[in-house]
Chains A and B, each alone.
Chain A
Amino acid sequence: MINDIKLRSAFAAAILGIMTGVLFTGSASASGDAVKLAKQEWSFKGIFGTFDRGALKRGYQIYAEVCAGCHSLDFVAYRNLQEIGLDEDTVKEIAAEFEVEDGPNDEGEMFMRPARPSDRFVAPFANEKAARASNNGAFPPDLSLMAKARKGGPDYLYGLLIRYHEEAPDGHEIAEGMNYNEVFPGHQIAMAQPLYDETVEYEDGTPATMQQHAKDITTFLTWTASPEMEARKKLGIKVLLFLLVWTGMLIALKKKIWAKLH
């Protein structure tokens, strides 16, 4: 049965080949002038990874105090904040700071009311045109899915947030009102450097460095992009453990049944 062994290893090689093909697709399309992203140690990495609750709360604070001025978070509702550890009353208070249009009322008029926990995050601008008008023609993208919508994911976001240069290096022309960023494709980004040391004051005593800020907001945005991650991994471990045991039993059973043939 030498052929079978050969075939088996060939199968393994083929699967590997497919995998590398897919991986190459990723790296090749990201090439061009993309820089190498430093891999960070994320609390949510690996099959047992979970979101660092402190980082999530600090990250939300950064979103609220820094990002929310320009960036929407369309797919997240205020009630979702309870999942990162804010209590119900705090969530109600946070929601009530914003106004949403509702109606029509019995008179047929639309009216404004304070947002409720069930409402989605209120966007800073009414529409894309308004956003562009306030941002030098640039459109600040929605951040809900940002951590999944860029190659490199969290490492990309982190790199983007900390790798600004005040002066563009020689040979790079930067247009009026634009900024030089090492990580952004083309290096010319409309967003000014958003985070510095002590941009936000933390309540829990965490040192407020720029790196810490970047790490916290990235953790928060990874949660907004994949709020199911913890439940997914938890269920996955159970399912895979079951399947491993089940496979072991089936191997034994298969051997037993086939033994009758010989």
Chain B
Amino acid sequence: MKLVNKVVLPVLDWVDYRLPVFSYARKNLIDFPEPKNLNYWWNFGSLAGIVLMIMIITGFFLAINYTPHTDYAFASVEHLMRDVNYGWLLRFMHANGGSMFFILVYIHMFRGLYYGSYKAPRELLWIIGVAIYLAMMGTAFMGYVLPWGQMSYWGATVITSLFSAVPLIGDTIVTWLWGGFVIDNNTLTRFFVGHYLLPFVILGLVVVHLWALHHHSSNNPLGVEIKTPGDTIPFHPYYTIKDMLGLSVFLIFYLGFVFFAPDFFGEPDNYIEANPLVTPPHIVPEWYFLPFYAILRSIDNKLLGVIAMFAGVCILFALPWMDRCRVRSAKFRPIYRQFFWIFVANCLLLGYIGAQAAVEPFVTIGRISTAYYFAHFLIICPLICKFERPIEPPESISAGVLEAEKGA
């Protein structure tokens, strides 16, 4: 104790006076006031952040064993799987980690939709989140190309070719993406660099996301702002322990796949080396792209299909201005709550359609489902806002918590 008091603490104080890392950490990780009524749906943001770190760390070790060359990429992955100590663990953690990242982020986004977390003053927080999601999609797409299996190659062919739909400069964009006139070594090297670069862009966006988050603190299940210190509890120990518990449960789920079903989310075809001369009978994107793939295929015109696909994501940017209801939480919005679940079901349906061959009845169902997806944002949300009569939310978080306790 003497050593700590005499040496360590003064050094920490000295540093903190010049660069306030310790007081900053204390403010944001220990004392930070969070609403006291957050439920387990508020675990998924921090879980996604942890998975991002797992991806960056395992990705670093994969990259030092990987050769971004069309002749060696596939073999270098097999070398990693067979000859590098725990190489299989790194690769399976990374490959399944990608799917986990999307599962967590999708739940995180639906959480935001349900509790109205995108509403004032958190519009930018939400928008940055959508930007993170977009960057994740790009990263995941490029990463899937790197093992240079059949699905890597043909998935890259399908997706990059979409850009040829852009009027006038479409072909130029595709040539630029490919680094040539066919998908080849130049494509692979630039995707490798992109796949290594974008995660750090995501990391930067996450920092800004947290910055915005910590300015107004988290939304909460009641959707009423913090009014008095009595509405809050410090982040530590309450939410540190809750996040750790959530992490532990999540790890059981995640590592269950890694150790016992590592290829569950993968396509068998990707264990066949890329072959430009043999097209697989069914080219399917990874499961997390399926809803948008369904939107793309629902529209006959290539350009409009591509626009619709990107609009499907980008419409989320505009959500804070589509739903202007002053009540945030769906708990107090009887009509919105029902349409929220219809929307979730519709997203799952789109994902299912995206996995099917483009034949009837899937094409028609896909078109209706696509139309509904956009209608939810453009028509249903504004209309609900106009006609719904929300239940009056409680005065404050504390009042709401007390009420709930009495009821129970």
Are both chains from one complex? yes
| B22 sits at the interface (CB 8 A) | no
Residue numbers in B under 8 Å from A258 (CB-CB): 238, 241-242
Are A1 and B252 in contact, with the CB atoms below 8 A? no
Stretch at the interface among A64-72, A159-167, A206-214, A225-233: A225-233
1/0 per residue, CB under 8 A from A, across B341-353: the answer is: 1001000100110
Distance, CA A242 to CA B264, complexed state (A): 23
**CB < 8 Å neighbour of B238 from A1, A228, A261:** A261
Distance, CA A250 to CA B344, complexed state (A): 32
Residue numbers in A under 8 Å from B39 (CB-CB): 4, 7
In the complex, chain A residues 60-104 whose Cβ is within 8 Å of any chain B Cβ? 74-75, 80
Distance, CA A8 to CA B111, complexed state (A): 12
Are A11 and B107 in contact, with the CB atoms below 8 A? yes
Are A228 and B348 in contact, with the CB atoms below 8 A? no
Stretch at the interface among A19-27, A106-114, A170-178, A188-196: A19-27
A49–chain B nearest beta-carbon distance, Å: 10
**CB < 8 Å neighbour of A236 from B259, B268, B271, B341:** B259
Are B255 and A29 in contact, with the CB atoms below 8 A? no
Stretch at the interface among A35-43, A143-151, A197-205: A143-151
Residue numbers in B under 8 Å from A235 (CB-CB): 89, 259
1/0 per residue, CB under 8 A from A, across B85-129: the answer is: 000110010000000000100010010001000000000000000
Are A233 and B255 in contact, with the CB atoms below 8 A? no
Are B356 and A28 in contact, with the CB atoms below 8 A? yes
| B357 sits at the interface (CB 8 A) | yes
| A130 sits at the interface (CB 8 A) | no
In the complex, chain A residues 1-54 whose Cβ is within 8 Å of any chain B Cβ? 1, 3-4, 7-8, 10-11, 14-15, 17-18, 21-22, 24-25, 28-29, 32, 47
Are B248 and A254 in contact, with the CB atoms below 8 A? no
Distance, CA A243 to CA B246, complexed state (A): 12
| B287 sits at the interface (CB 8 A) | yes
Residue numbers in A under 8 Å from B264 (CB-CB): 22
Distance, CA A17 to CA B344, complexed state (A): 10
Distance, CA A3 to CA B400, complexed state (A): 14
| A134 sits at the interface (CB 8 A) | no
Specify the main secondary structure of chain A where it touches its partner. Answer: helix
A140–chain B nearest beta-carbon distance, Å: 14
Distance, CA A192 to CA B235, complexed state (A): 68
Are A21 and B281 in contact, with the CB atoms below 8 A? no
Stretch at the interface among B53-61, B75-83, B183-191, B320-328: B75-83
**CB < 8 Å neighbour of B256 from A8, A145, A240:** A240
Are A1 and B355 in contact, with the CB atoms below 8 A? no
Are B269 and A10 in contact, with the CB atoms below 8 A? no
- A151-B352 in contact given A240-B255, A247-B248 (Cβ < 8 Å): no
B331–chain A nearest beta-carbon distance, Å: 6
| A253 sits at the interface (CB 8 A) | yes
In the complex, chain B residues 199-240 whose Cβ is within 8 Å of any chain A Cβ? 221, 233, 237-238
Residue numbers in A under 8 Å from B251 (CB-CB): 243
Distance, CA A86 to CA B21, complexed state (A): 58
**CB < 8 Å neighbour of A243 from B88, B252, B341:** B252
Specify the main secondary structure of chain B where it touches its partner. Answer: helix
Are A148 and B81 in contact, with the CB atoms below 8 A? no
| A126 sits at the interface (CB 8 A) | no
| B265 sits at the interface (CB 8 A) | yes
Residue numbers in B under 8 Å from A4 (CB-CB): 39, 221
- A149-B41 in contact given A10-B341, A236-B258 (Cβ < 8 Å): no
Are A28 and B348 in contact, with the CB atoms below 8 A? no
Residue of B nearest to A80 (CB): B82
Residue numbers in A under 8 Å from B245 (CB-CB): 247, 250-251, 253-254
Residue numbers in A under 8 Å from B248 (CB-CB): 243, 246-247, 250
Are B263 and A239 in contact, with the CB atoms below 8 A? no
| A124 sits at the interface (CB 8 A) | no
Residue numbers in B under 8 Å from A239 (CB-CB): 255, 259
Are B352 and A24 in contact, with the CB atoms below 8 A? yes
Residue of A nearest to B81 (CB): A228
**CB < 8 Å neighbour of A257 from B237, B259, B262, B348:** B237
**CB < 8 Å neighbour of B287 from A15, A18, A32, A243:** A18
Instruction: Please list the residues of chain A having a beta carbon within 8 angstroms of any beta carbon in chain B.
Output: 1, 3-4, 7-8, 10-11, 14-15, 17-18, 21-22, 24-25, 28-29, 32, 47, 74-75, 80, 141, 144-145, 148-151, 153, 185, 225, 227-228, 231-233, 235-237, 239-240, 243-244, 246-247, 250-251, 253-254, 257-258, 261
Sample (8) of A-B pairs whose CB atoms are under 8 Å apart: A18-B348, A75-B75, A75-B78, A149-B269, A151-B268, A236-B260, A250-B248, A254-B242
